[in-house]
Amino acid sequence: MKLIQRLTLIVCFMLLCGTTFSAAQTQSEVDRIVSLGKQAERQYDYASASRLYRIAAGFGNAESAFRLYVMCRYDYVPNSDNEWLEWLKRAGDLGDDEANYKYCLIILKGGRSSRSDHYSCEERIEKLAKKGHRQGMVLYGDYLMTYDTKEKAMVWYKKAAAKGEVYGALNAGYYSSNKVEQRNYYNQALRINPRSAKEFFAQKHVMFKP
């Protein structure tokens, strides 16, 4: 434990007190901080891990911001109201795709956010969808279904289905007006994940026999 604290002080002093580094050297030192944070976390020293991750996140490290989201979300460290959500947003701002997906899922589906909050997620999930993030495609389809047109939403549901995403297939089937197409998508969903498909059918009151 003392070794971690000594190394932390050395590295942080060098980074925060004006030591001149090249971009590569700075990244190397930030990586060291993240590594020390993970080591502290494995030893259940969440206070030290949190301090390290905060420093690394300050230098633009997305993984550290995401780890802080987890630690605040599950109260491994003291935190203020919704601090976990701010760290999740920060991780997304720094380029973490999974963080962007989780953040927008909470904003769009959590029931606590305003329409302006929903609009703020549009660019995030559109980028995710265009990068080929399967769940992001479905979420973007959901967004378009609410705020744009069914036709545009269906494009993304079908793209997600083509990548093997069960909810892409389920939504493509549910909103299709073509009975043959609907059956094909429902059968695809059952092949991908029978349990999720059956739960969807029950929730939507869909009577479907393969």
Q: Tell me the pLDDT of the chain (210 aa) as tens digits.
A: 454 555 555 455 555 555 444 555 578 888 988 999 999 999 999 999 999 999 999 989 999 999 999 999 999 999 988 899 999 999 999 999 999 999 999 999 887 677 788 888 999 999 999 999 999 999 999 999 999 999 999 999 999 999 999 999 999 999 999 999 999 999 999 999 999 999 999 999 999 888
Query: Which of 84, 83, 90 has its CA nearest to residue 57?
Result: 90
CA-angle at 180, arms to 177 and 186, nearest 5°: 85
Map tokens 């460290």 to a residue. Answer: 77
- CB within 8 A of 154, min separation 6: which ones? 141, 172, 175, 176
Asked if residue 102 lies in contact with residue 113, where contact means CB atoms within 8 angstroms, the answer is no
CA distances 46 to 53, 67, 80, 159, 206, Å, are 10, 11, 16, 41, 47
Quick one: 128 exposed, middle or buried, by C-beta within 10 A (0-12, 13-18, 19+)? buried
Q: What is the pTM of this model?
A: 0.83
Q: Domain segments of the chain: what residues? A: 1-12+20-91
